[in-house]
Structure 1
Amino acid sequence: MGHLLSCLAFAPSTPLHYCLSIYQTIKCPSVFASNNMIRCFAKSESARESVALYSWMRQRKEMLPNNHTFTFLLQACSKASAVDEGTQVHTHVVKFGFGEDVFIRNALIHFYSACCKIECSKRVFEENAHSRDVVTWNSILAGLVRDGQVGDAETVFGEMPERDVISWSIMITGYVHNGRLQEGLDCFKEMREVGLRPNEAILVTMLSASAQMGLLEHGRLVHSIINSLKFPMTVSLGTALVDMYSKCGCIEQSKLLFNNLPKRAISSWNVMICGLASHGLGKEALALFEMFVNEGFRPVNVTFIGVLNACSRAGLVGEGRHYFKLMTENYDIEPEMEHYGCMVDLLGRAGFIKEAVELIEKMKAPPDPVLWATLLGACKIHGLVELGERIGNRLIKLDPGHDGHYVQLSSIYAKATKWEDAVRVRRLMVEQNTNKTAGWSLIEAEGRVHQFVAGDREHERSSEIYIMLETIGTRIAEAGYSPNISPVLHDIGEEEKVNVIKEHSERLAIAFGMLVTEVGDCIRIVKNLRVCEDCHEVSKMISKVFDREIVVRDGSRFHHFTEGKCSCLDYW
């Protein structure tokens, strides 16, 4: 019976009640059988029951626990986040003389890390430097990364006498999940240089980093590694690839991959729907949603974020109202802030300001500042100075440290040529010690990422970039371009405004792209803020005059510029 329980403990999905019924038929269960029953509890949803079984074992004098008992017990306490019980198990580990057992020490480090007791993990790790293996090092490394202590994790990683693929996976994931994307990419490159074969987790993480940064060439490299190493196209890998190509501006490649996936999960459909939405392909996103439902899948809240975002990006007001109602009435999904955000954006951009306000006021939960900020943006679009003033002042009181509220309100005043009010808001922003978020643009070229800010002259090819900028300016002026200086909010002369706007970060990135790419190649830009009206117009004209495709991923959506037109149809 003990060996049967051992097999069941290894099986992926055996009902717990079946394992328990077998154990209860044993008249005098051995430690071996009891350990395997603990293991069955540990992998179930009743992990704490392992401790109860151990307590029963301790009442039987003939049943002394061994090293396996404590390893399985600590696994159970980790899963259940049972801090008190696990700490008591630790005292028994010491009491029975297993304090130097490397497997138990590894389980202890993992247990304390899983329960957010990283200092305790460190103490266990440091107690006995002679009782460590690669799993010990990986356990403390994973704990540090989980706790956000990436600097300490780097130190541990550097001291490791031996690293396996798990070590690299933990470090790469730690960098990416803590927003240090470039360091994650560098770590992956270093791992490849030492000749290690990446695992699936590393490849998915690298695709995620490429997607977040919009680095198409790096994403393609990872894709080529997947193919060359003949990795099976699992749901996780396939979904990550679809997401990467979408977020890097290659929506057609993303669609092709999605259509050829051997197996799709809800996450795969969600990524594709959201991808189509971000590229402004609202009708396609909605058609895909209907196909998703027809194939028997049940949408979740993320699915409807994609659907409503698709409606918002394409100005599909009627469809947006329909799907918002469908979500609540047919699928019993309680709207979250993101759903309300999509609807407020959709209604606000389309001019249904009153309906957007009513929607916010009917919310069960208090609206967060993002919703009001979305409505403030709609006031700017439609020139609603009075309402914008009320919302803007309310936002500044709610969140005085957020620069965007001051900028939006100042922009509304500037658009209405109310310069005194615009200057007053700017002055208030300075008094609050709040600085405007600096805009930047990235372009991947010549094997690395190049970042530009407005007026940037730090790049090693800066002089060439500004010469190209002048050439672009001359050519598009000949084609009829006239600067739109409304995005410049300062009360300065028109000539100064023209000089300010022509050095925006995306223009510098495009000029650099013109220098380093072949004629006819697509220029891909990633921007952290929403593209301004004038830069949008300039990008359209460059695409026509120079016969170039330009893809810009801004803080809101994708813009595909070709032949003097944009995929957003000037609705963004």
Structure 2
Amino acid sequence: MVVAYKPQKAGTKSLLLFSLFSQHSKPVSVKQTKQAHARIIVSGLTANTQLMAHLLCSLALSSSTPFHYSLSLYHSITRPTVFASNNMIRCFSKSHSPRHSLLLYSSMLRRSCYSQPNNHTFTFLLQACSEASALCEGAQVHAQALKHGSADFVFVRNALIHFYCSCSSTECSKRVFDDNARSRDIVTWNSMLAAFVRGGQIDNARKVFDEMPQRDVISWSTVISGYVQNGRLEEGLECFKEMRDKGMRLNEATSVSVLSASAQMGLLEHGRLVHSLVESLKLPLTVSLGTALIDMYAKCGCIEQSKHLFDNMPLRDIWTWNVMICGLASHGLAKEALEHFERLTNDGLCPANVTFIGVLGACSRAGLVSEGRHYFKLMTDKYGIQPEMEHYGCMVDLLGRAGFVDEAAEMIDKMTVPPDPVLWATLLGACKMHGSIELGEKIGNKLIQLDPTHDGHYVQLASIYAKAKKWEDVVRVRRLMVAKNTNKAAGWSLIEAQGKVHKFVAGDREHERSHEIYKMLETIETRIAEAGYSPNVSSVLHDIGEEEKENAIKEHSERLAMAFGLLVTGDGDCIRIVKNLRVCEDCHEVSKIISKVFGREIIVRDGSRFHHFKEGKCSCHDYW
């Protein structure tokens, strides 16, 4: 707060204005700094170097520093002290031109008679080099710090570790860390931990974490984030459990990381636990935290909760909109996804490439061909976004499944980037669906050449031949599949129950309640047969009898998970399952019948989308 001005002696005025900066508990705003500057001018104290330097200090600490104003203040000081120069360097480091800090440092050296650098100078210079990812210049600053005897001061060493980490030079960070084991504080350890995490060396990060003499919430948050970023989700959640057991308080960064892990694994109860902790600790609903919660609920099958959170968010950015649009698309709510896109643009936000992945994905999952064509054209013509593989994938899937196979093939031929095998496989699936034998044969053989160990390409091609009654070709492809020793992608299904995550694979008998699960499978088979179910074994490509094929389908991973869910959840409770592969036609039909016969809502997140099974129907309307 700015003190009201009263005419006083010059010395008293100086002391009064100085106290504004030196005793303020929080950084003052730019507006307050300008008010103080005006008082200094009115009081005739602009020649007071100390006061002007403190004005610069308040700007350097401000979250939004008006760079040109800072520079004009600095230039108004006839003989800047090292304190003034350091704060100007700090202002430069937060500007769009952080490298200008180095020019100012050179100027300091030339005027060394009254502005010799000190330890803080190197800290701020390294901060600027970190912002600019200026490895060469930062290395020169390192040399200067050594020359001036500052490199062993702990906060300079911390800045060096952070700088090399920012420039992706983890080994240099490690050398600085190892140079002087006696000159370390918790920031040093956390900086080294962050360097390993940023470099993707999560095992080295864990080693540093385990060796730390003490840890704070930043230490825990960094290692948890490392596990999640490197796809080691279960280890990240286990580390979070350790953190809570140690009595550490949750912060925003940890919350976002754990919510991300919960979202990717589809662990609703775990995500709800984090949400309840966030609320109990009264953490503010920032854009990052709110977006992470929306994403978690969407990916755990609770799209209504996502919509509620989105509508009540005090602030949203483009990523919040992207998460909401992609979430609606994955649940088959195409109309709402497109409405959200229109709201986004009406609010003056510019869509990103991810936005259009959500929009085109929504069109693809609902078969909205004309809308998909419109938004694909809008993306390139109006917003200048060049299509990436994901955009082409959505369009090929949309056109192919809707029967426009030739148009999809033409789009691939005209792509500005080389198509990947996944794109060709998408078109191959469309050829199978619509009986495009000649094109399917061509694409199938191309895929086998591109990736001869992927069993799915052989299965699709053999199915196309079978549909055309080309039995000799079916046998040939099957034999080729065996000869090439193909790898089948391992299918699994997860279900969260009784405070644990239970994972099943096809034919799984490793679960501790396996006997009960298979008993429940028998009950399911009896009841769905009574409801008119007849097995569809077209997805089983093996030289075995029909009975064996039926048994193979009965033991698919999602059916085991459903049987377990019926065992451990209460009557009428929703059963939630996460599956890594796209659900097969037979399991999709069985899930619909189970939902009706057992009176349960079953939500399955497969490799493509969400399926909400209820009262014998699916939210995808059998279009997936």
Distance in 2 separating the partners of 1:202 and 1:411: 47
- Tell me by how many angstroms 1:417 deviates: 5.3
Distance in 1 separating the partners of 2:336 and 2:464: 34
Q: 2:183 aligns with which of 116, 123, 131?
A: 131
| 1:329 counterpart = 2:381 | yes
Corresponding residue of 1:546 = 598
Which residues in structure 2 correspond to 1:151-550 (within 5 Å)?
151-400=203-452, 402-416=454-468, 418=470, 420-429=472-481, 431-432=483-484, 434-550=486-602
Corresponding residue of 2:37 = none
SS at structure 1 position matched to 2:493: strand
TM, length-normalised to structure 2? 0.89
SS at structure 2 position matched to 1:345: helix
Aligned partner of 1:8: which letter?
A: L
Structure 1 residues 341 and 38: alpha-carbon distance in aligned structure 2, compared to 1, 3 A threshold: same
Any gaps of 5 or more consecutive residues in structure 2? 1-51
- Tell me by how many angstroms 1:418 deviates: 4.5
Q: Deviation digits for residues 496-550 of structure 1, max 9, x if unmatched?
A: 1111111111011111111111111111000000000000001111111111111
Q: 1:11 aligns with which of 39, 56, 62?
A: 62
Between 6-15 and 399-408, the greater mean CA deviation after superposition: 399-408
TM, length-normalised to structure 1? 0.97
* Higher RCO structure (Cα 8 Å, ≥6 apart): 1
SS at structure 1 position matched to 2:501: strand
Distance in 2 separating the partners of 1:42 and 1:167: 26
CA contact (8 A) 2:495 2:578 kept: yes
Which residues in structure 2 correspond to 1:3-152 (within 5 Å)?
3-62=54-113, 63-152=115-204
**Equivalent residues, number:** 572
SS at structure 2 position matched to 1:366: coil
SS at structure 2 position matched to 1:26: coil
Distance in 1 separating the partners of 2:474 and 2:125: 64
Structure 1 residues 561 and 75: alpha-carbon distance in aligned structure 2, compared to 1, 3 A threshold: same
Any gaps of 5 or more consecutive residues in structure 1? none
Distance in 2 separating the partners of 1:207 and 1:394: 41
Aligned partner of 1:103: which letter?
A: F
Structure 1 residues 468 and 111: alpha-carbon distance in aligned structure 2, compared to 1, 3 A threshold: same
SS at structure 1 position matched to 2:351: coil
Q: Deviation digits for residues 264-284 of structure 1, max 9, x if unmatched?
A: 222222211111110111112
SS at structure 1 position matched to 2:78: coil
Aligned partner of 1:475: which letter?
A: R
Aligned partner of 1:23: which letter?
A: Y
Between 441-450 and 234-243, the greater mean CA deviation after superposition: 234-243
- Tell me by how many angstroms 1:116 deviates: 1.4
- Tell me by how many angstroms 1:426 deviates: 4.8
- Tell me by how many angstroms 1:408 deviates: 3.1
CA contact (8 A) 2:263 2:300 kept: yes
CA contact (8 A) 1:414 1:489 kept: no
Distance in 1 separating the partners of 2:470 and 2:587: 24
Distance in 2 separating the partners of 1:255 and 1:91: 54
Distance in 2 separating the partners of 1:356 and 1:484: 29
Distance in 2 separating the partners of 1:459 and 1:190: 25
SS at structure 1 position matched to 2:387: coil
Distance in 1 separating the partners of 2:257 and 2:560: 30
Q: Deviation digits for residues 52-110 of structure 1, max 9, x if unmatched?
A: 22222222332321100111111111111111111111122222112320000101111
Aligned partner of 1:94: which letter?
A: L
Aligned partner of 1:553: which letter?
A: R
Distance in 2 separating the partners of 1:69 and 1:434: 61
CA contact (8 A) 1:442 1:451 kept: yes
Between 20-29 and 190-199, the greater mean CA deviation after superposition: 20-29
Distance in 2 separating the partners of 1:129 and 1:385: 69
RMSD between aligned alpha carbons? Answer: 1.7
CA contact (8 A) 1:422 1:489 kept: no
Q: Name the larger-Rg structure.
A: 2
Distance in 2 separating the partners of 1:104 and 1:117: 17
Between 317-326 and 178-187, the greater mean CA deviation after superposition: 317-326
CA contact (8 A) 1:243 1:254 kept: yes
- Tell me by how many angstroms 1:368 deviates: 2.8
- Tell me by how many angstroms 1:243 deviates: 1.1
